């Protein structure tokens, strides 16, 4: 289940951004998943919610998923507090 690894990677990237900007909370992240990326969206979201729920900086944050025809998983936008 590589979706869990992708979710862990996204979570790590979000925590890095929070550290870089000196914030204590991540409110929202928007991710674009290409339909040819080979990512099962439901598994990715489930894995992300598990990981995010274990850290106070990401607990309760909103994860927005959009789709395109590409082959990538891209972090598009983050809202920090």
**Per residue in 2-27, pLDDT tens?**
999 999 999 999 999 999 999 999 99
From CA 35, how far away is CA 41, in angstroms rounded?
10
Contacts of 21 by beta carbon, 8 Å cutoff, 6+ apart: 80
Provide φ and ψ at 58, rounded to 5°: -120, -5
Tell me the pLDDT tens digit for each residue of 31-68. Answer: 999 999 999 999 999 999 999 999 999 999 999 999 99
Does residue 1 carry a pLDDT above 90? Answer: no
Nearest to 52 by CA among 2, 18, 1: 18
- Can you tell me the distance from the alpha carbon of 43 to that of 46, in angstroms, rounded to the nearest whole number? 5
Going along the chain from its start, the domains and CATH numbers come out as 2-80 (3.30.2320.50)
């Amino acid at each position: 289940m590589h979706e869990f690894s992708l979710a862990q990677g996204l979570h790590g990237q979000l925590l890095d951004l929070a550290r870089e900007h000196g914030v204590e909370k991540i409110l929202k992240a928007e991710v674009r998943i290409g339909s040819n990326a080979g990512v099962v969206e439901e598994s990715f979201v489930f894995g992300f919610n598990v990981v995010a729920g274990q850290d106070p900086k990401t607990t309760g944050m909103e994860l927005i998923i959009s789709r395109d025809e590409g082959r990538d998983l891209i972090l598009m936008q983050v809202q920090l507090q």
